[in-house]
Chains A and B, each alone.
Chain A
Amino acid sequence: MREPAVRTRELSVWYGQSQALHSVSITVPRGTVYAVLGPSGCGKSTLLRAINKLVLLREGARVEGLVEVLGVDVYRDHSAEEALSRVGMVFQTPNPFPHLSIYDNVAIGPRLRGMAKGRELDKLVRWALEKAALWDEVKDRLKSPASSLSGGQQQRLCIARALATMPELLLMDEPTANLDPVNAAKIEELIKELSREVTIILVTHDAEQAKRLASTGVLLFMGRVVSEGPISSILSRSYSSIIQSLVASARRQ
């Protein structure tokens, strides 16, 4: 049996003196959409950033515990960089590089990783834009600045940027949170399409969105795991049982 896409054990994260995650253990199976659910400030984004080590960009951040990504302990193994090169990320607010063209925004990842150049790069850019359902809208203006696109288009461009590095795991941090319903629906369709080829970890605070898109997931509250498993069972739990789980989890520590 193949190892899971991501496995964390007793993962704790601190920002200075403040602890954001408390002994979080999750297992993300390959080939699924895995939802990370919970209210604002519960540690969803921190969990995502602990997986690809972006958390270490924050001054004073400290990580303890195990994080295995595609079978590699990314905080201890020498091959961590290679494993993380197979991980892409899409952020809450669309963040294409405003000074680069549409083409260059997609090409930047492959260029940085020396994956392709010339016609090979052209093909890869087209492939990524097609996958992100953006090619038809931008094929005649690839040299235009990315900032000329609408918000929804910019987010699909960011998805294309991540896909161009051919990731096996895609981390998506509330990718529809800042979009209107029409563009949010487009991104959801895209996530469904992509999930056939890429494992996706989707951070969301929208339970309905999690139901529509994910098969499994985890519910976090105040940096702790409340429950993990099939999405329907997570969402069916009552508020009182969530509190009981949290109290039990706090006592165990």
Chain B
Amino acid sequence: MRRSIDVIYLGVATATAIVIAIAAAIVLALSIESSGVLAREGLGFVLSPRWSPSEERYGFYGVALPLVGTLAVGVQATAIAIALSVAAVVYLHEYAPRRVREAIGIAMFAMAALPTVVFGMWGLSAVAPLVREAGLGSLCARGSPTGQSVFTAALVVGLMLTPYASSVVSAAYDAVPFTYVEALHSLGAMGFERARVLLGMVKRSIAAAALLSFGRAVGETTIVALTIGSAFNLPLCPFEPAHTVSSLIASQYGNAFLYPGLTSALSAAALLLLAASAATTALGARIARAAVARGGEA
């Protein structure tokens, strides 16, 4: 018995060590690969808006515009996901009959399991034409004629993230001790009034859901590459096409070997993305764990 436990422990420890080693190897490989462009461009890599791989000797590589695009998509997608998930949680907990609650729960589960490429295809074939037909592009100076824009990407990513965010908010809402629900009821709070107070109690979990969603949104590649329109714009208006760091990597990595320094630049961009995504996800997970430790009194 003791021996079999030792074998299981050894197996799990080895598997964990392999995963950590792979992650470390990825970071190391990206760091080595990106050192060339980082040494050449310095802070200009982050601050410069100029991205021009096809220079005669060595390209100019500045990711300021894709970084702003990443931030814009991340913020908008998170806002959409949090708004929809909070609305869904309030509806499901306060108003929906049991059967509707169960049906929507299954639909959310199925939605969470969909591959992102399916969301991306839907975004390209259904959401982008809607944005185009609605004439939203004409609201911006460089509005997208195809409907592919920062807003299109953010909307689809936001919808993709909604089941994920709502599961975090819903778990916290469920974890609010029943005595508070009774107290609110005894004070005459029903429906939305009750939800408003309970949402105040789980606001830390909502913040955690927002950070976790943001972490996933900035790293999302397939959906964004298909729906953002891939243009080097400063996305001051949401209906303009732009680039995010991930869409830039996805669209240029295939031909990177053709341009001197491009592989290094894209690796540096990936390293930046990895750091931003890991930082926000770690912070979100920490807040979520703290909220759970408080027994729902977030």
Contact = CB atoms under 8 A, between A and B. Distances in A.
Nearest to A92: B179
Most B CB atoms within 10 A — which of A54, A97, A165?
Answer: A97
B201 A97 contact: yes
Contact of B179 (A85, A87, A95): A95
Given A99-B203, A99-B297, A108-B197, A165 B187 contact: yes
A54 B187 contact: no
A52 interface: yes
A38 interface: no
B193 interface: yes
Interface in B139-197: 177-183, 185-189, 193, 197
Contacts of A223: none
A87 B186 CA distance: 8
Contact of A109 (B188, B201, B297): B188
A64 B183 CA distance: 24
Contacts of A93: 179
A158 B187 CA distance: 11
Contacts of B178: 57
B189 A112 contact: yes
A100 interface: yes
Contacts of B187: 108-109, 112-113, 161-162, 165
Nearest to A94: B179
Contacts of A161: 183, 187
A171 B185 CA distance: 13
B200 interface: yes
B297 A57 contact: no
Nearest to B186: A89
A165 B297 contact: no
B297 A98 contact: yes
B182 A165 contact: no
Interface of A: 49, 52, 54, 57, 81, 84-85, 87-89, 91, 93, 95, 97-100, 108-109, 112-113, 158, 161-162, 165, 171
Interface residues of B, number: 18
Which A-B residue pairs are the 4 nearest by beta carbons?
Answer: A89-B186, A109-B187, A95-B179, A98-B297
B contact patch SS: helix
B186 A52 contact: yes
B200 A99 contact: yes
Nearest to B194: A112
Nearest to A105: B183
Interface of B: 177-183, 185-189, 193, 197, 200-201, 203, 297
Contacts of A84: 188
12 contacts: A49-B182, A52-B186, A54-B186, A57-B185, A87-B186, A88-B186, A91-B179, A93-B179, A97-B183, A97-B197, A100-B197, A100-B200
A171 B179 CA distance: 15
Nearest to B202: A99
Nearest to A164: B187
B76 to A, nearest CB: 28
Nearest to B178: A57
A174 B193 CA distance: 27
Given A93-B179, A109-B188, 17 more contacts: A54-B182, A54-B185, A57-B178, A85-B188, A89-B183, A91-B183, A95-B177, A95-B179, A97-B180, A99-B201, A99-B203, A99-B297, A112-B187, A112-B193, A158-B183, A162-B186, A165-B187
A93 B193 CA distance: 23
Nearest to B196: A112
A93 to B, nearest CB: 6
Contacts of B186: 52, 54, 87-89, 162, 171
Contacts of A98: 201, 297
Contacts of A88: 186
Contacts of B193: 112
Contacts of A87: 186
B38 to A, nearest CB: 45
Contact of B182 (A91, A108, A109, A112): A91
A57 B203 contact: no
A54 B184 CA distance: 10
A57 B181 contact: yes
B97 to A, nearest CB: 12
Contacts of B297: 98-99
A54 B189 CA distance: 12
Contacts of B197: 97, 100, 108
A165 B186 CA distance: 10
Contacts of A158: 183
